[in-house]
């Protein structure tokens, strides 16, 4: 054994860190404040399996290989051809095709990179025109959860856009049972490796005798570490999960090019997430600056009116939620993921989660940072580096 390692937080970042450290030979304890693991990947119980916002995997980065190499993914869902009905909301109407300017941005031959120090709106407007730039910024709201994506770094937004709207073979993957199924397999893998999992255990200060990975939301990490530098830009969004009696008029996926909202079915590609004869949809709408939550929800429901006709009359189950400052990292002009809070905090303390210095989007950032943090903690355990080893005691 390399020594003891503690992991605080049992979401995808914490589980990744725990597995990585244990695979490196560390003796690992994982502490989770809730009664179950999962973090924001946690799903509602059957018969309706809904997550906090859209949850898919992309298979074009090494996080996917890390998962598949360990048999953590499981079977994949796939929508039938008859269900592949896409939509684009423009000027209050649902259309089947995107505007021409947006299509040009999706085509092969587009630039691979964009400037870091320019806003996306400024760069895209110069290259593709104002209308196309606005449409692209709102279309990519599916992963930024931000009502003004055009203000973000062109490099940051363009990388996301190129991945989501890949012009060749799509890289999106839907896992049967959703992220909760993957998290369940991750928990199983962690336990196989001897990780001790402590549920309903919320740490208020760091252990001084062992390296620790803090894999919580950034605001919680800030409190636990007493580090006011742990801040980064994130989104603000209202969410709607709704199950309805199935109707062939319902759309599979729709991008709201007016407001930045997004609609997706999860049951069309994975019937296990809803009862037979019902369809489960997840929708989100970014909250605009100065807008009330009621106003944002009204826009969200207007999107549902277009994508799930007469949904109120067909609803069998629903829930609403709001997420602010916990929807993944957003990079402003002049900043990249390398400028975010570092994974290695020194003194045997490591940070993991979806708003730290690692590449990718949301869950991918969590996995990449979890791998780096887990490896770092295991290495620190070999040398006896821990929060109390330098005499600098860290408390909440």
What is residue 52's predicted lDDT score, i.e. its pLDDT?
77
284 C-beta neighbours (distance < 10 Å), count? 28
CA 29/CA 22 separation, integer angstroms: 10
Q: Decide if 89 contacts 303 (C-beta within 8 A).
A: yes
Backbone angles phi, psi at 21, to 5 degrees: -65, -40
Per-residue pLDDT band at 53 (split at 50, 70, 90)? low
What is residue 51's predicted lDDT score, i.e. its pLDDT?
87
What is residue 328's predicted lDDT score, i.e. its pLDDT?
95
Q: 4-13, 166-175, 238-247, 280-289: lowest mean pLDDT where?
A: 166-175
**DSSP bridge partners of 114:** none
- Give the position of tokens 């303390």: 349
What order of strands is seen across the sheet that includes strand 57-58?
Answer: 57-58, 172-175, 76-77
Measured in Å, how far apart are the chain's first and last C-alpha atoms?
29
Q: What is the DSSP string of 211-278?
A: -EEE-S-HHHHHHHHT-TT------EEEEEEEEEE--TT--SEEEETTT--EEEESTTT-GGGS-TTE
- Spell out the CATH class of 4-47+176-230+332-383: alpha beta
Mean pLDDT of 215-237: 96
Torsion, CA 379, CA 380, CA 384, CA 390, rounded to 10: 160
Per-residue pLDDT band at 40 (split at 50, 70, 90)? confident
Q: Decide if 369 contacts 358 (C-beta within 8 A).
A: yes
Mean pLDDT of 300-321: 98
Tokens of 262: 């997004």
Mean pLDDT of 291-304: 98
What is residue 393's predicted lDDT score, i.e. its pLDDT?
41
Q: Is the pLDDT of residue 162 over 90?
A: yes
Mean pLDDT of 303-310: 98
Q: Is the pLDDT of residue 168 over 90?
A: no
pLDDT tens digits, 332-345: 999 999 999 999 99
pLDDT tens digits, 56-110: 899 999 999 999 999 999 999 999 988 889 999 999 999 999 999 999 999 988 9
Pairing of strands 253-256, 262-265: antiparallel
Q: Is the pLDDT of residue 392 over 50?
A: no
**DSSP bridge partners of 321:** 239
Q: Decide if 93 contacts 198 (C-beta within 8 A).
A: no
Per-residue pLDDT band at 169 (split at 50, 70, 90)? low
What is residue 108's predicted lDDT score, i.e. its pLDDT?
86
pLDDT tens digits, 130-152: 999 999 999 999 999 999 999 99
One CATH from 2.120.10.30, 3.40.630.30, 3.90.660.50, 1.20.1070.10 for 76-175+236-324:
3.90.660.50
How far from 201 is each of 30, 191, 198, CA to CA, in Å? Answer: 9, 17, 6
Instruction: Indicate where the chain has its CATH 3.90.660.50 domain(s).
Output: 76-175+236-324
pLDDT tens digits, 173-188: 999 999 999 999 999 9
Burial 7-39 (b: 16+ CB within 10 A, else e): bbbbbbbbbbbbbbbbbbebbbbbbbeeeebbb
Tokens of 26: 């560390």
Q: Decide if 1 contacts 25 (C-beta within 8 A).
A: yes
Instruction: Indicate where the chain has its CATH 3.50.50.60 domain(s).
Output: 4-47+176-230+332-383
Per-residue pLDDT band at 3 (split at 50, 70, 90)? confident
pLDDT tens digits, 357-382: 999 999 999 999 999 999 999 999 99
């Amino acid at each position: 054994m390399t020594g003891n390692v503690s992991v605080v937080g049992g979401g995808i970042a914490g589980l990744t860190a725990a597995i990585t450290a244990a695979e490196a030979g560390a003796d690992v304890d994982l502490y989770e404040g809730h009664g179950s693991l999962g973090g924001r990947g946690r799903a509602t119980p059957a018969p309706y399996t809904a997550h906090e916002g859209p949850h898919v995997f992309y298979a074009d980065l090494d996080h996917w290989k890390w998962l598949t190499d360990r048999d953590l993914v499981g079977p994949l869902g796939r929508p039938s051809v008859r269900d592949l009905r896409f939509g684009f909301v423009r000027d209050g109407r649902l259309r089947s095709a995107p505007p021409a300017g947006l299509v040009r941005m999706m085509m092969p031959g587009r630039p691979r990179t964009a400037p870091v120090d320019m806003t996306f709106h400024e760069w895209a407007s110069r290259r593709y025109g104002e209308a196309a730039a606005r449409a692209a910024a709102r279309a990519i709201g599916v992963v930024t959860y931000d009502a003004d994506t055009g203000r973000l770094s062109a490099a940051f937004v363009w990388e996301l856009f190129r991945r989501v709207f890949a012009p060749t073979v799509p890289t999106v993957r839907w896992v049967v049972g959703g992220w909760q199924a993957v998290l369940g397999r991750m928990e199983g893998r962690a336990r196989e490796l001897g990780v001790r999992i402590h549920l309903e255990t919320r740490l208020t200060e760091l252990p001084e005798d062992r390296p620790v990975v803090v894999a919580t939301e950034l605001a919680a990490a800030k409190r636990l570490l007493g580090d006011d530098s742990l801040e980064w830009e994130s989104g603000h969004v209202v969410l709607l999960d709704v199950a309805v009696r199935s109707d062939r008029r319902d759309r599979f996926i729709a991008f709201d090019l007016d407001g930045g909202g997004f609609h997706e079915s999860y049951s069309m590609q994975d019937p296990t997430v809803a009862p037979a004869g019902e369809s489960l949809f997840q929708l989100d709408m970014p909250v605009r600056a100065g807008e009330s939550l009621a106003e944002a929800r009204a826009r969200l429901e207007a999107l549902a009116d277009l994508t799930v006709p007469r949904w109120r009359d067909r609803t069998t189950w629903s829930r609403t939620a709001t997420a602010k400052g916990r929807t993944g990292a957003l990079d402003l002009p002049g900043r990249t993921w390398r400028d975010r809070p570092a994974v290695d905090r020194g003194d045997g303390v490591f940070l993991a989660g979806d708003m730290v210095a690692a590449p990718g989007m949301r869950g991918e950032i969590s996995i990449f940072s979890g791998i780096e943090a887990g490896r770092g903690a295991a290495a620190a355990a070999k040398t006896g580096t821990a929060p109390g080893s330098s005499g600098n005691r860290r408390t909440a």
